[in-house]
Structure 1
Amino acid sequence: MPVRIVYESHATTTDNEAGIATGWLPGRLSPTGRRQAAELGDRRRGTGLDAVYTSDLARAVETARLAFAGAGSPVLRLRDVAAEWDGGQVLLIAHSANRWSLDCLLAGARLESVVADPPPWQPGTFYTLP
């Protein structure tokens, strides 16, 4: 059975607010980001999530921790998620580039188009993993 993926970007960091791309550095959530993480928890709690996975970078882990009181495990390969959560619903908390990858892999977007015209932020993007 397919797995439903709910994708959320990590909350706003101090680097985001300063216009700095954090890249592979851990980053720290700003006060706005901590509020956004709490809102994420409110928005997703009770929606039938079977698991929460995060990027291993600190800003994504902190988002998950604040949203779900410590929940979150490093992201597995998609095929592992499909095997473990067959028919389930998982939340992924990561970064914009990861969302672009899912747009290409699971929604048929062309990478050139996504990079040239990135999709706007939204509270949750839904994918189906066959």
Structure 2
Amino acid sequence: MTDLTLTTTHTDGHLAALCIGGEIDTQSAPALRKEALDVIAQGHPHLILDLTGITFCDSSGLNALIGIMRCAMAANGSLTLAAVPDRLSRMLDLTGLSTVMPSYPGTEAAMNARRPTTTPEPT
């Protein structure tokens, strides 16, 4: 069995950030998906996954990310990635997923990009 760590590092209204470490494979992908869907179900449909600690991700991990993204979108939310390791970033580019899963250098940049902006009413 592989070790996967999942820590909710931030919740603010509809936005939540999870920090993930370890390997995402056939053994750990279901736990990642369940944890992320639980956070979405708790009222945080805009999810940021900080992948700083990911050491490995196979096709089950990509499938888990797709499933999480679909569930977030079904809840009128989004999936944003932060600190994507180079190897995973290349896989996302090759599969075309990088076009539907925006990524940022870190969690703070991702949170700033995903926070709703309020525009002043015209006068």
Q: TM-score, normalised by structure 1?
A: 0.34
- Which structure has more relative contact order (CA 8 Å, sep 6+)? It is 1
Q: TM-score, normalised by structure 2?
A: 0.36
| Structure with the larger strand share | 2
